[in-house]
Amino acid sequence: MSLPSTYRRSGSSMLEHQTWCDRGFEPTETSLANLMKTQGLVQKFKVTHLLSYLGRLNPIPIGVSKNDAVWLFDNVAFRGPNGTWQAEFVTAVFDARVSTKLVDIVGDIAEKVGLSKGDKQEKTIEQRITPFLMEVLPGRRVDIKFGESTALRLGPGGRNGISSDLKKVPDSAAGTVVKSAAEVPSGAGGLLELNTFYTEPEGWAVISDVDDTIKITQTSDPVGILRSTFVAEPTPIAGMPELYWQIKDMVTPSAPWFYLSASPYNLYPFLRDFTHRYYPPGQLILRDASWMTIPGLLSNLTLGTQKYKVDRMKKLYEWLPKKKMICIGDSTQSDPESYGEMYRKHPEWIKLILIRKVTDIAAVGTEKKNAPKRFEEAFKGVPREAWHVFEDPAECRERIQKRVPFTTTTSATALSTAAERFNMSSEGAAAKRQKSNKDVPYNLIYWPEIPGRGEFIRLALEEAGAEYVDTAKTEEGNDEVMAHIKGEKPDDDTNPPIFAPPILKHGDLVISQTPNILLYLGPRLGLVPSVEEDPDALYKVNELALTALDGLSNEPHDCHHPIGSELYYEDQKEEAKRKTEHYVKTRLPKFLGYFERVLNSKASGEGPYLYAGKLSYADLVLFQCLDGLRFMFPKAMAKLEKERKHSKLFELYDAVKQRPKLKEYLEGPRRQKYSNGLYRYYEEFDIEG
């Protein structure tokens, strides 16, 4: 089978061409749906469309609208030739409205990976495919607030909707992380925050591939790529998280990490969540050639990767020529050739190359890719001690010790610290579970027909785009809850009996209690800052969630059941009325005032959220409490909002409500209506306070 001329011109190697032909990439790619959305906005903005060909020289860029989605990409700040700090800011802007072809495209991908029509995993495909179906918006500018006070204007973007700007940034110490936020109209969504990591000119740095180096992708198989990208739970390569945290502890704390992948920018949110969950934070460098094309995904990951990666590494060298680089990749693509070429250009820059020999993928051509002759040719002219091919990540330790100057004591401490961090952190635990019984959807067990306390869990799962089963939507949902409450479930030696829902089942684990479930889900779903960013963040977020649940969930429940939950409301109406009057006049303002104080505190950080400037599960809990209270006490809540004493609190409510995934969920059929559950409306409760 011959390759189309476009691929012959792509600068691909013979090995890449051979894999493309042998593994049937061409028929798979040509059979995929054409996902290019018709440029509907071109007619509306003809001038902008034409001027976008000028890129950054576009004299008439336009701003972001409420219907747009903006992505900000994490970056690294470095010292330029004159000693000033600067960083490359990359943004992307597109229409948040998804192509009408979504259903057909989801079905096409599902069929390719062998799913039956209507399979529950189609929901996962829909969530991950969405960034490929949003129309790029050329010629947009994006205003951001860098840190606390520095205003930066980025763009305008080019034909692909992406802008890249090298900007001066304020002085800061190496190792500092500065947060930025996009300044967009209400209603606009996307990834509106970025982290800038400051690094010194000298010292160590790491360049790492992603697919089949740190994440199972199966880049030698077209169907494997589709399955791992759009269906499967992203899974780290066994032993690689431990190795990376060990390396991080060995080199200087301010050493930057660059994740250099041939994946397209469409996958940035997916890959960013993955790397943040399992590996040291860093800058993701992705390919922009196939924006909005699923067929292009296969081409990007398999063709012309050497030329692309060498080009990107040249840019890194221009930024950080005095750094000492550790380069890590695998044998499925052209990582050996890319790193070998870059070493020959700058031997003083690259100090160690580690290549994972991929043997756990049954693919045609694996033997040729793993042949010693291939590595010898790729690393021609590279000293033997500067490169190593491994199967077990643990064997890299000796190589690292020889190339990275530190004492034996430091080495042992680093290994111990890395292992301890990985094993004790929720991210590390999650990585190990993925290799056992936890590579399955979450199962939420709760009463049907009421949001109740189960809604706090649903919001976390929905915001994270997690795959889960909700028994409230199944015919046997009520029976499942009762079986747990009555003790009809088989006893086991690891899970205590359940007292009441909500209940979360994940693999062999069965737990209950709303805050306990959120404590478990938060780190796994990226709804708390990572242990590396803030070792104590989980406890601070949990403190805020517990306070909201105490005063804005449990106490409202007691308003309609002040004596006993087993009694009917009608049996305790007088007591309920007295309890409600006291709550609305005294307790409700007290708790709202507390959270307004939190949002005004330094610990809240930049943006509308409770802690560290980032959305956490505490924000989702608070949102649901406020939403339930608006249903339960509409007059009192309207009065409190009108008084403007809690303006930041209601800004948080609006910000959470407008998050793209939550907005879709809240406006869709899965969101259950309030009725006789936790938050109830009674006319006698509807007082202003």
pLDDT of residue 404: 77
Cβ atoms of residues 537 and 529 within 8 Å: yes
Kindly report which listed range (33-37, 232-236, 612-616) carries the lowest average pLDDT score. Answer: 33-37
- Taking 90 as the threshold, does the pLDDT of residue 392 lie above it? yes
Reported as a single tens digit per residue, the pLDDT across 328-358 is 999 988 999 999 999 999 999 999 999 999 9
Is 401's pLDDT higher than 50?
yes
- Of residues 473 and 458, which shows the higher confidence score? 458
When pLDDT is averaged across residues 600-605 and rounded to a whole number, the result is: 92
Q: What is the pLDDT of residues 620-667, one digit of tens each?
A: 999 999 999 999 999 999 999 888 889 999 999 999 999 989 999 999
Q: What is the DSSP string of 165-215?
A: EEEE-----TT-EEEEEE---TT-EEE-EEEEEE--SSSEEEEE--BTTTB
Q: Say which DSSP state 133 is in.
A: H
CB atoms within 10 A of CB 120: 11
pLDDT at 320 over 90: yes
Pairwise CA distance, residues 670 & 664, whole Å: 10
Question: Looking at the predicted structure, is the pLDDT value of residue 250 above 70?
Answer: yes
Instruction: Name which of 16-20, 145-149, 167-171, 534-538 the model is least confident about.
Output: 16-20
Q: What is the mean pLDDT of residues 139-149?
A: 92
Judge contact between 73 and 90, C-beta under 8 A: yes
Q: How far is it, in rounded angstroms, from Cα 596 to Cα 610?
A: 9
For residue 670, is pLDDT > 80? yes
Dihedral angle over CA of 55, 314, 403, 240, nearest 10: 40
Distance (Å, whole) CA 31 – CA 571: 66
- Tens digit of pLDDT for each residue in 207-246? 999 999 999 886 556 776 777 778 878 889 999 999 998 8
Contact criterion met (CB below 8 Å) for 292 and 258: no
* pLDDT confidence of residue 110: 78
User: What rounded mean pLDDT belongs to the chain?
Assistant: 83
pLDDT at 29: 58
Torsion-angle region of 161 (φ positive above 0: left; ψ -120 to 50: alpha; else: beta) = left
Q: Give the other-Cβ count within 10 Å of 671's Cβ.
A: 15
In three-state secondary structure terms, 596 is helix
Higher pLDDT, 410 or 138: 138
> Is the pLDDT assigned to residue 299 strictly greater than 70?
no
Please name which of 382, 422, 431, 391 lies closest in space to residue 247, comparing C-alpha atoms. 422
Please tell me the distance from the alpha carbon of residue 135 to that of residue 64, in angstroms, as a whole number: 14
